[in-house]
Amino acid sequence: MNSIASTKPPRPRPQGPRGDRKHTPKVNTQGLYKRAIKESFVKLKPRVMLKNPVMFVVYVGTIITVLMIFDPYLFGPVQGENLRFFNGLIALILFFTVVFANFAEAVAEGRGKAQADALRSTKSDTIAKKLLPDGSIQEISSTQLHCGDMVKVVAGDIIPADGEVLAGVASVDESAITGESAPVLKEPGSDVASSVTGGTRILSDELSIRITADPGKGFIDRMISLVEGAERAKTPNEIALTVLLAVLTLVFLFVVATLPTIASYVNSPVSIAILIALLVALIPTTIGGLLSAIGIAGMDRVAQFNVIATSGRAVEACGDVNTLILDKTGTITLGNRLAEEFVPVNGHTMNDIARVALAASLFDNTPEGKSIVRLAEKLGAIVDFDRNLAEGIEFSAKTRMSGTNLPDGSEVRKGAVGAIKGFVRSRSGRETPELDTAYERISQLGGTPLAVALNGEIYGVIYLKDIVKPGIRDRFDQLRRMGVRTVMLTGDNRITASVIAQEAGVDDFIAEATPEDKIEVIQREQAQGKIVAMTGDGTNDAPALAQANVGVAMNSGTQAAKEAANMVDLDSDPTKLIDIVTIGKQLLITRGALTTFSIANDIAKYFAIIPVIFASANLQSLNLMGLTSTNSAVLSALIYNALIIPALIPLALKGVKFRPLSANQLLQRNILIYGLGGVIVPFIAIKLIDVLVSAVGLA
Ligand SMILES: Nc1ncnc2c1ncn2[C@@H]1O[C@H](COP(=O)(O)OP(=O)(O)OP(=O)(O)O)[C@@H](O)[C@H]1O
Ligand SMILES: [K+]
Ligand SMILES: [Mg+2]
């Protein structure tokens, strides 16, 4: 909520439900793949490989099998022909398994790297005109600017660093960060319009700016390191899953290690190479290889929505969100609340209320205020005092009023009906039932009623009309199906709030909320163990944004809000929170689905390889899949195991098809599709590969 309504950002234009405008720089796909291929080999350093325990086991397995190319009898006597060639094939397949997993991660990182390069190119060294205390100007490099320095920028200049406008009014091209080409007006004083970002370009006039960021610490610098993934630490869920996969790997290692004893008991000695093959087939290499790509892709998908996440953790938290806190005006409604009608009361005429409403709105720069002036002037009202001698009283969300102190000492006010009643009472005026009738009628229509008063006398009510965004009801339905509760928080009165809440289909609403209420609501939800998401832009929102588990700040918002939030929406569209939550959910579901698939796969691979181990023990009844030979069975299972990683990269990056369902329904659906599919697919694929492998005479 804004403390100062005149600082409201331009209302975002309504978007399609998926809001799929993309401003991220175009990425050259061919270059991206070339770079990823190179990276897949660079990542083979043991230090890097160690971060992924599952793939590290494959890595070690590769090294051992390579040694066994040179000495097949390294670990004792083995039966069979062409051992060197066979071990060579296994080593090759294992090597590619590792490379494919690295490739998945490299491709996922590629887009962010390309984006970072594009951002870096906007951040060329500029010459800053530093304002010295004596008023003279010194030209220095932008990299030498520090917090607190004053600079001057004129039309055509690149703004040298993040800062706050202290003087001047100018339009600024912020497309370098927002991709939006429409210029933005910057002026001092107001929370929102006074902050400027280094790297953007001033188009007209000139500004005096106080620098608020030290070199290398600006908004663009932070964006670069974020999209590049420099700060991408593993998220708590990712760590938990990595641990689980490592434990599973250990269990399989133990199982495989005990096999030789059993095998020799049934007089069927096995080679170390085959044991390694079996181990690699059984451990969860698919999810192990794709895990980090899934996480990076989730951040990337958020970035493509023009939202910058400060960490992967933030994106992931979106997936766990239980409660979504939204404000009414501009988020649930279109937000261009315009004066529709004046309703005079207490025996006043239409002319009277128009005149008082005009006087009360003369200095009100909010869209609401301007529309009241327009309507009053249309009705023929004129200003009958010297406006230079009058004093404007700015709107604040706390007082819920705005107005003017006239030269003759009288006070005109307009605002929320409750607030104006309080004002009138304090001036020993009267309240009338007529006022309540008018205000209830407007509220029932979902409009915002503003009462108008001159000193102790109420003149009537202004009807501000607002419209619920088309399609928003569907979005809330979807969220409900995902188990997310939506709460509308508004400064408006109870009746209006309940009408809009009903029309929009939110689960709950809080009316007559002050900015402080927001943080209270968040804390209350969190006390019940809920994960809470919210959007905001004002300085007032900063504590609430920091308190929320997912706080999305509007780029048009204040520096404080942006710093407190864990995401910044470059388009300043509060409805995007809904999309971000959806992306987070999809990230978690994708991870779950591919984990299920990966583990289900092992069943088939197990049945492909285990008969091999007991081959000479006449346990051929175990050869369920009817594979050609023992060697071809092992190779086929391993080839499948390697190829499934690149085959699933597109799914890992794009995310699985997403449907708004509850966690339970999703689990059932996933087990059905990815669990059952994960058992069936490899049976078919391994059989086909076996046919091919034996046809080309590899085994
Ligand atoms: N320019 C204004 N002048 C006087 N009163 C106003 C003005 N704008 C809004 N109000 C009154 O103050 C109330 C609170 O405003 P606030 O901005 O906190 O909430 P809101 O805009 O109604 O809802 P939301 O919090 O969803 O944006 C409004 O409901 C309205 O009654
Ligand atoms: K595997
Ligand atoms: Mg508001």
Catalytic residue among 173, 300, 327, 492: 327
pLDDT tens digits along 152-170: 999 988 888 888 899 898 9
Residue 699 has pLDDT above 80, yes or no: no
Contacts of 632 (CB under 8 A, 6+ apart): 690, 693, 694, 698, 699
376 token code pair:
């009053």
Amino acid at 325: I
Residue 575 has pLDDT above 70, yes or no: yes
- Residue of 2, 190, 450 best suited for mutating to test ligand 1, as the one with most atoms within 8 Å of CB: 450
Closest CA to 398 of 556, 523, 543, 518: 518
Give the ipTM.
Answer: 0.95
Question: What whole-number distance in Å separates Cα of residue 443 and Cα of residue 465?
Answer: 10
The listed range with the strongest mean pLDDT (56-60, 565-569, 609-613, 628-632) is: 56-60
426 token code pair:
């304090």
For domain 146-214, the CATH class is mainly beta
490 in a labelled binding site: no
Ligand 1 atom closest to Cα of 400? 12
**Pocket of ligand 1 from Cβ distances under 6 Å:** 1, 5, 327-329, 364, 366, 368-369, 395, 397, 400-402, 414-416, 448, 450, 490-492
Residue 190 has pLDDT above 90, yes or no: no
Amino acid at 238: E
pLDDT value of residue 353: 97
Lowest mean pLDDT among 378-387, 392-401, 459-468, 575-584: 575-584
Across residues 137-151, what is the average pLDDT? Answer: 88
> 175 C-alpha vs ligand 3 centroid, how far in Å?
27
pLDDT value of residue 281: 93
Output 660 or 161, whichever has higher pLDDT: 161
Per-residue pLDDT band for 9 (boundaries 50, 70, 90) equals very low
Closest CA to 317 of 433, 218, 235, 375: 235
**Distances in Å between the alpha carbon of 693 and those of 21, 634, 688?**
47, 11, 9
Lowest mean pLDDT among 378-382, 395-399, 411-415, 447-451: 395-399
User: What whole-number percentage of the chain has pLDDT above 90?
Assistant: 45
Question: What whole-number distance in Å separates Cα of residue 220 and Cα of residue 122?
Answer: 9
474 in a labelled binding site: no
Residue 3 has pLDDT above 60, yes or no: no
576 in a labelled binding site: no
> 400 C-alpha vs ligand 1 centroid, how far in Å?
6
Residue 355 has pLDDT above 90, yes or no: yes
Instruction: State the sign of the Cα–Cα–Cα–Cα dihedral 203, 209, 215, 218.
Output: negative
Domain range annotation of the chain: 48-115+227-303+588-695, 146-214, 338-465
Question: What CATH number was assigned to the domain covering residues 338-465?
Answer: 3.40.1110.10
Closest CA to 604 of 682, 697, 506, 518: 682
Question: What whole-number distance in Å separates Cα of residue 223 and Cα of residue 226?
Answer: 5
397 in a labelled binding site: yes
Amino acid at 562: K
CB-based burial label for 409 (10 Å; 0-12, 13-18, 19+): exposed
pLDDT tens digits along 299-308: 888 888 888 8
Amino acid at 306: N
Q: Give φ, ψ of 189 to 5 degrees.
A: 95, -60
Contacts of 579 (CB under 8 A, 6+ apart): 18, 19, 305
Question: What whole-number distance in Å separates Cα of residue 235 and Cα of residue 240?
Answer: 9
Per-residue pLDDT band for 2 (boundaries 50, 70, 90) equals very low
Three-state secondary-structure class, residue 82: coil
pLDDT value of residue 75: 79
Question: What whole-number distance in Å separates Cα of residue 430 and Cα of residue 549?
Answer: 46
646 token code pair:
């690149």
pLDDT value of residue 93: 97
Ligand 1 atom closest to Cα of 488? 26
Closest CA to 578 of 488, 662, 476: 476
Q: Give φ, ψ of 179 to 5 degrees.
A: 75, -5
Per-residue pLDDT band for 144 (boundaries 50, 70, 90) equals confident
Q: Give φ, ψ of 690 to 5 degrees.
A: -60, -45
**Distances in Å between the alpha carbon of 278 and those of 90, 395, 635?**
11, 72, 10
Per-residue pLDDT band for 623 (boundaries 50, 70, 90) equals low
Closest CA to 613 of 623, 601, 603: 623
> 519 C-alpha vs ligand 3 centroid, how far in Å?
16
Cα dihedral 224/228/234/236 (nearest 10): 50
Lowest mean pLDDT among 95-104, 380-389, 466-475: 466-475
Question: What whole-number distance in Å separates Cα of residue 538 and Cα of residue 559?
Answer: 9
Per-residue pLDDT band for 624 (boundaries 50, 70, 90) equals low
Across residues 581-590, what is the average pLDDT? Answer: 88
- Residue of 492, 498, 517, 534 best suited for mutating to test ligand 1, as the one with most atoms within 8 Å of CB: 492
pLDDT value of residue 179: 65
Verify whether residue 517 is a known catalytic residue: no
221 in a labelled binding site: no
Three-state secondary-structure class, residue 19: coil
Question: What whole-number distance in Å separates Cα of residue 583 and Cα of residue 8?
Answer: 27
* Ligand showing the shortest atom-to-Cα distance for residue 6: 1
- Residue of 328, 329, 337 best suited for mutating to test ligand 1, as the one with most atoms within 8 Å of CB: 329
Q: Average model confidence (pLDDT) for the chain?
A: 86
Quickly list DSSP for 613-675.
HTGGGT-GGG-TT--S-HHHHHHHHHHHHHHHHHHHHHHHHH--------HHHHHHHHIIIII
